[in-house]
Chain A
Amino acid sequence: MNNPTTPAAIELRQVTKTYRDAKALDEVSLRLEGNRIYGLLGRNGAGKTTLMSVLTGQGFQTSGEALVFGQRPYENDGVLSRICFIRESQKYPDDFNARQAFKSASLFFKQWDQAFADQLVEEFQLPLNRRIKKLSRGQLSAVGVIIGLASRAEITFFDEPYLGLDAVARQIFYDRLVEDFAAHPRTIILSSHLIDEVANLLEHVVLIDRGRIIMDDDAEAIRGTAVTVAGNASAVQSFAAGREVLHRESLGSLASWTVEGRMTNAERAEAAELGLELAPVSLQQLVVRKTMAATDAVVDTDSELEVLK
Chain B
Amino acid sequence: MNRVVNVARMQLINKWTFLGIPAIIMVSAFLITLAIWAMIPASGETFYSGASQAVMWYFMALGIQSLTLTFPFSQAMSVSRRTFYIGTVGLFATVALVISVLYYLLGLVEVATNGWGFNGQLYALDWIANEHAVVQILFYFIAMVALFMIGFWFATIYKRWQATGMLLTWIAIAVVLIGLLGLTSWQGWWPLVGQWFVAQTPLSVSAWAALFCAVLAGGSYLTLRRATP
A and B touch in the complex (CB under 8 A): yes
A104 near B80 (CB under 8 angstroms)? no
Question: Is there an interface contact between B14 and A87, defined as CB atoms closer than 8 Å?
Answer: no
Q: In whole angstroms, how far apart are the Cα atoms of A60 and B160 in the complex?
A: 13
Interface size on A, residues (CB 8 A): 34
Considering only residues 46-83 of chain B, those with a C-beta below 8 Å from chain A are: 65, 68-70, 72-73, 75-83
List 8 A–B pairs whose Cβ atoms lie within 8 Å, in order of A's numbering.
A57-B80, A87-B76, A87-B229, A90-B76, A95-B16, A96-B13, A108-B79, A109-B77
Q: Given the known A-B contacts A90-B76, A91-B69, A93-B73, are A77 and B228 also in contact in the complex, defined by CB atoms under 8 Å?
A: no
Q: Determine how close the nearest CB of chain B comes to the CB of A302; give it in whole angstroms.
A: 31
Which residues of B are found within 8 Å of A147, using beta-carbon distances?
Answer: 76
A85 at the interface (CB under 8 A from B): yes
A84 on interface, CB distance cutoff 8 Å: yes
Within the complex, the shortest CB–CB distance from B71 to chain A, in Å, comes to 9
Contacts known (A81-B78, A91-B73, A153-B78); A60 close to B14, Cβ less than 8 A? no
Number of A-B contacts (CB under 8 A): 82
Question: Please, which residue of chain B has its CB at the minimum distance from the CB of A132?
Answer: B73
- Name B213-229 residues within 8 Å CB distance of A: 225-226, 228-229
> Are A84 and B229 in touch, CB under 8 angstroms?
no
Shortest CB distance B8–A (Å): 10
- Minimum CB distance partner of A107 in chain B: B6
Q: Does A21 sit at the interface, judged by CB under 8 A? A: no
Chain A 43-58 interface 0/1 with B at a Cβ cutoff of 8 Å (1 = within) = 0000000000100111
* A125 to B3 Cα, complex, angstroms: 31
A56: B residues at CB distance < 8 A: 75, 78
Bound complex: CA of A59 vs CA of B228, how far in Å? 6
Q: Contact at A53–B228, with CB atoms within 8 Å?
A: yes
Chain B interface mostly: helix
- In the complex the two chains form, is B79's CB within 8 Å of A96's CB? no
Q: Which residues does chain B contribute within 8 Å of A82, judged by CB atoms?
A: 78
A85, B78: Cβ atoms closer than 8 Å: yes
A93 touching B14, Cβ below 8 Å: yes
A195 on the B face (CB < 8 A): no
Q: A77-B3, A91-B229, A96-B14 are in contact. Are A109 and B69 (CB under 8 A)?
A: no
Give 6 nearest A-B pairs by CB, closest first: A91-B72, A80-B78, A108-B77, A107-B6, A75-B80, A104-B10
Within 8 A of A (CB), among B79-128: 79-83
Assess the B80–A93 pair: CB atoms within 8 A: no
Query: Given the complex, which residues of A lie within 8 Å of B226, measured CB to CB?
Result: 60
Known contacts A57-B80, A80-B80, A91-B69; A108 and B228 CB within 8 A of each other: no
| Neighbouring B residues of A105 by C-beta, 8 Å | 77
Known contacts being A95-B14, A100-B13, A103-B13, is A77 close to B69, with CB within 8 Å? Answer: no
Please give, as numbers and ranges, the residues of chain B lying within 8 Å of A59 by CB-CB distance.
Answer: 228
CB-nearest residue of chain B to A147: B76
Report chain A residues within 8 Å CB of B229.
58, 87, 91
